[in-house]
Structure 1
Amino acid sequence: MGNIRLKNIRVYAYHGCLAEEARIGSDYSVDLEIKTDLRKSSISDELSDTVDYVTLNKIVVEEMAIRSKLLEHVGHRIITRIFKELPEVSRIVLGVSKLNPPIGGDVEAVTIIMEEYRN
């Protein structure tokens, strides 16, 4: 087994409960870690024997482009889609951060972290 991590996937999106967040958007950062079997690809040196991180990045970017009020909701969509499209993934740890959130204070980011295992 092994892990593949994508750190600090940067996107601009329109998530949030406030009307202004839907209009003007905000910067987000996503961290993704998946567990999968890396033994075959470590021997074969073939992309077809592993989880392609280009596909993982594409899923994150596409799901982040769909507006949600809550970070938890977009996180759930990302996890569900990865499990659906990549059966070789057995565990996902996902962090979604809203940078400079409009919460009336000097806060760098608000982050939700979700961990799910394949059923």
Structure 2
Amino acid sequence: MGLIKINNIQVYTYNGVLPEENRLGQRLEIDVALTVPIETLGTQDKLSQTVSYAEVYTTITEIAKTRQYQLIESLANQISQTILAQYHLVEKVQLRVRKYSVPIAGIFDNVEIEVQVSR
């Protein structure tokens, strides 16, 4: 098994619990790692025999931009489940979502959640 990774996907969304988050929006960053049988996928050197990371990128950004969630945990779970449903070669999805505009009185860079989903 091997990993296909897409790092630091950036999307502007209107997710959050507070009305200001839903109205003003914020930037999210998403990292994804897909566990796939690379040892068999790359033998023919054909895109049709593997997982297109361009298509995975589009799947992730469409979900993040077109659906609204209160929790980034819900967003991460939806993305993970969709990837497993649409890309049958993917055995496991590891996804991290970072949120920067968090309404917490304190000094920090971001909050991040991570989810791992397997078949």
* Cα-Cα RMSD: 1.0
Query: How many pairs were matched up?
Result: 118
Q: 2:112 corresponds to which residue?
A: 111
Q: Is the 8 A contact 1:94 1:115 kept in 2?
A: yes
Local SS of the residue matching 2:93: strand
What are the superposed Cα offsets for residues 32-59 of structure 1, whole Å, 9 maximum, x if unpaired? 0010111233221110111000111111
1:7 match: 7
For residue 37 of structure 1, what is the aligned residue in structure 2?
37
CA distance in 2 between counterparts of 1:10 and 1:99 reads: 11
What's 1:98 paired with?
99
TM-score, structure 1 length as denominator? 0.94
With the length of structure 2 as denominator, give the TM-score of the two structures.
0.94
The one-character-per-residue Cα deviations of 1:9-44 (angstroms, maximum 9, x if unpaired) are 011001110000000000110000010111233221
Give ranges in structure 1 of 5+ residues lacking alignment: none
Structure 1 segments (4+ residues) deviating >2 Å: 39-43
Matched, 1:61 2:67: no
Q: Which runs of 5+ in 2 are unaligned?
A: none
Partner of 1:83: 84
Q: What do the CA deviations read for 1:50-102 (whole angstroms, capped 9, x no partner)? A: 10001111111011111100011111110111011011110010001102322
Q: For residues 101 and 18 of structure 2, what CA distance do their matches in structure 1 show?
A: 14
CA distance in 2, matches of 1:104, 1:15: 19
